[in-house]
Amino acid sequence: MRKFSYYSSTLILLLIKLIGVFGEFPEDVVRCHHSDSECLLKTSQYILNKYPKGLRSLNLIPFDPLHIKSFIIERNPESPVNVELKLTNVDLLGLSNTTITNITYKSKHFLIRGLAANFVGRNFLEGFIPKIELKDNYSAEGQVLMLPLAGKGRMRIVCHNITFRFGFDLHPVEKSGQTFAQINHIKLQATPELVNFKFDGLFHDDKTMEDDVNKLLNDNWLLIYKEMDGSVTKSVSLIIQKLVNGAFSKYPYEDYFLK
């Protein structure tokens, strides 16, 4: 009787574990083969468009709007945009309107459509976003194009028609005898067609100076963006890494794909 009870308990625990691993995978999310890039594109697009408020069954946190507690663009004395810009409690809006156009991985000297099945090679996501908006609180001090800049208040930065390429490596993580995935060595390249800036509260609310500086920023948006690009894309890359790794932590890597 004890033996039967032992095996019954073991079976129940096994079933609970299996339900936890497989039973919660969302039925409406289509799984694909690693090499089926068309299917991967459709599934990625579906998740982006349908679940901007997150998807608990995939450990996906809300991403549109994406709340960013803080990040800093540091001063660079060698740059014409020598300003320290602190952003706090800001929201990034527009990610759910992303269109994924290509999913590939590089194996040795070849670029192959799909995702790497064996954690070997560099992976790439390419796409287009019609508009990204970053807004809320800032503080700034420094110089822009030789003009002193200081202020604190609300801000709004809008990037239009962005093409991007997001590169990453897949890294295996062993947990409880199963292989999970994490992404690392991330790099985001983003090119907007236009950027608009609006900073309130510059020069202690001197409206004339504020308008002049905002006009200067917008007239020279390409130069400003190029100087800010590295810090901004690095911060956004780390946020995307956290989002993806959270989702990949839910199930073993192979369970996201068809066998």
- List, for residues 121-137, the tens digit of each pLDDT value: 899 999 999 999 999 99
- List, for residues 215-246, the tens digit of each pLDDT value: 999 999 999 999 888 888 888 898 899 989 99
- The yes-or-no verdict on residue 19 having pLDDT over 80 is no
CATH of 29-256, one of 3.40.50.620, 3.15.10.30, 1.20.1440.230, 2.60.40.1240: 3.15.10.30
Q: What is the pLDDT of residue 14?
A: 44
Q: What is the DSSP letter of 61?
A: P
Distance, CA of 69 to CA of 242 (rounded, Å): 14
Predicted TM-score (pTM) of the model is: 0.84
Q: What is the pLDDT of residue 24?
A: 65
- The yes-or-no verdict on residue 186 having pLDDT over 90 is yes
Q: What is the pLDDT of residue 193?
A: 98
- List, for residues 145-161, the tens digit of each pLDDT value: 888 888 999 999 999 99
Give the Å distances, CA to CA, from 159 to 133, 202, 222. 6, 21, 11
Q: What is the pLDDT of residue 228?
A: 85
Query: Which residues are within 8 A (CB) of 92 and not within 5 positions of it... i.e. 6 or more apart?
Result: 64, 65, 66, 67, 68, 132, 133, 134, 236
Q: What is the pLDDT of residue 43?
A: 94
**pLDDT, mean of residues 197-222:** 91
- The yes-or-no verdict on residue 23 having pLDDT over 80 is no
Give the other-Cβ count within 10 Å of 19's Cβ: 10
204: pLDDT confidence band, cut at 50, 70 and 90? confident
- The yes-or-no verdict on residue 51 having pLDDT over 90 is yes
Highest mean pLDDT: which of 7-21, 70-84, 169-183?
169-183
- The yes-or-no verdict on residue 208 having pLDDT over 70 is yes
- List, for residues 63-98, the tens digit of each pLDDT value: 999 998 888 888 888 888 899 999 999 999 999 999
User: In whole numbers, what is the pLDDT of the chain averaged over residues?
Assistant: 87
Distance, CA of 89 to CA of 70 (rounded, Å): 6
Distance, CA of 172 to CA of 188 (rounded, Å): 21
Q: Residue 160: name the closest of 185, 138, 191 by CA.
A: 191
Return the minimum-mean-pLDDT range out of 68-72, 102-106, 179-183.
68-72
